[in-house]
Amino acid sequence: MTDPAAELDARLATAYGVKLATAAWLPDDDSDPDAFLRAAESIGRAVGDRRARELPITERAWLPLPACPVVPPSPDERKAAIARLLAWAEAGGARWDGLEFDVDANGNALVRACRTVSPGELLLTLPRHLMIVDSELAASTTGQLALGLADPRPRDALAAWLPLEAREPASRWRAYLEALPVQLAELPMFHDASDLAALAGTAAYALAADDHRDVRGTYDKLSSELTA
């Protein structure tokens, strides 16, 4: 029978090049959830420290992505956009029951139950033709431009496709695109290292830094048309 701790050590060694003896950190049974959290934090720190030491100082620099200077819509404008989205979705066959959609005073869209909901109850039905799927983007003109990336992953394909499609006046997704937030400035890739200094030394920082490098590396491969 395979020892779970030994198998985890082998997986971590293969993925991160770090040798650990996690058996000393993992609890003997499932009765102490906090012990698992402490073990996960210890493993994360060890992985993060190893990867940080291996990275040259230039690669560890946390450079924020440029954020476009845009004026967010007013709450009333956002509410009107959400209403158009719901009308478009309903006309396309989407159905919902027991849900209400609202926009708060800050322009944030909310979805909440408006009645008691039973476990397993069907609340929302969305037809297949109302779904944006990464594997189908290449069939569109904007998708062909966006997929100039070499072998893009689903996240990258969708992220590159969105701004191109959003500038198409006749886009079939117009109601959806107009209901999206104009920016997500709170995401880590739009902040510099000083904003996240409070997380230094934690597994959360190591994971966020790794994801930031990945996003930044993909962004740097985009055409000037897309980065604009």
pLDDT at residue 44 in the model: 73
Q: 137-153, pLDDT tens digit by residue?
A: 766 666 555 555 666 77
pLDDT at residue 114 in the model: 94
Q: What does residue 146 show for φ and ψ, rounded to 5 degrees?
A: -65, -35
What's the rounded Cα separation, in Å, for the pair 158 and 17? 31
Q: Bridge-partner residues for 125, per DSSP? A: 95
Which amino acid type is present at position 227? T
Segment 34-39 mean pLDDT: 72
- Residue 209, both tokens: 């830094």
Q: 152-180, pLDDT tens digit by residue?
A: 777 777 887 888 888 888 999 999 999 99
Q: State how far the alpha carbon of 86 is from the alpha carbons of 10, 60, 89, 115, 175, in Å.
A: 49, 44, 5, 19, 9
Q: State how far the alpha carbon of 34 is from the alpha carbons of 31, 153, 204, 206, 226, in Å.
A: 9, 35, 17, 21, 45
Q: Among all chains, which residue has been given the structure tokens 């396309």?
A: 92
The string of DSSP codes covering the chain is ---HHHHHHHHHHHHH-----GGGTS-SSSS-HHHHHHHHHHHHHHHHHHHHHHS-HHHH--PPPPPP--PPPPHHHHHHHHHHHHHHHHHTT-EESSEEEEE-TTS-EEEEESS---TT---EE--GGG---GGGGGGSHHHHHHTTSSS--HHHHHHHHHHHHHT-TT-TTHHHHHHS-S--TTSGGGS-GGGGGGGTTSHHHHHHHHHHHHHHHHHTTS-HHHH-
Q: 100-112, pLDDT tens digit by residue?
A: 999 998 888 999 9
Q: Is the pLDDT of residue 117 over 80?
A: yes
- Residue 44, both tokens: 């994360």
Q: Is the pLDDT of residue 54 over 60?
A: no
Q: How confident is the model at residue 123 (pLDDT cuts 50, 70, 90)?
A: very high
Segment 115-134 mean pLDDT: 92
Q: How confident is the model at residue 29 (pLDDT cuts 50, 70, 90)?
A: low
| Average pLDDT score over the chain | 79
What's the rounded Cα separation, in Å, for the pair 163 and 37? 39
Segment 46-57 mean pLDDT: 53
Segment 69-79 mean pLDDT: 89
- Residue 190, both tokens: 């739009």
pLDDT at residue 80 in the model: 95
Query: Is the Cβ–Cβ distance between 42 and 195 less than 8 Å?
Result: no
pLDDT at residue 92 in the model: 96
Q: How confident is the model at residue 35 (pLDDT cuts 50, 70, 90)?
A: confident
Sign of CA dihedral 142, 143, 148, 153: positive
Q: Which of 24-33, 67-76, 83-92, 215-224 has the lowest mean pLDDT?
A: 24-33
pLDDT at residue 57 in the model: 36
Q: Is the pLDDT of residue 56 over 50?
A: no
